[in-house]
Homo-oligomer: A and B are copies of this chain.
C-alpha cells in the first residue's frame, strides 16, 4: 500500500464568485476524466478585473491522483 504512485496535473479553474469556487470548478472538471483524485495544491491565485472590480478569480492548482495499474 505504501508503494502507491501518484500523478499530479496542473489546472487553472476560474469563477466570478470566490477562490473556493474556482478551485471547485477545476476539480469538478478533472473528476470528469480522472479517477482516484486525492488532493490539490494551490500554486497561484490571480484574476481578471472588469469595471474596477474582480471579474473572475483564476486559481492555478495541482491535482494529485493515484495511478492504478
Contact = CB atoms under 8 A, between A and B. Distances in A.
A41 B44 contact: yes
Interface residues of A, number: 52
A20 B19 contact: yes
Q: Which 8 A-B pairs have the closest CB atoms?
A: A31-B52, A2-B56, A6-B12, A42-B45, A5-B29, A8-B10, A37-B49, A41-B46
Contact of A18 (B20, B37, B63): B20
A2 B57 CA distance: 8
A46 to B, nearest CB: 4
Contacts of A16: 2-3
B44 A42 contact: yes
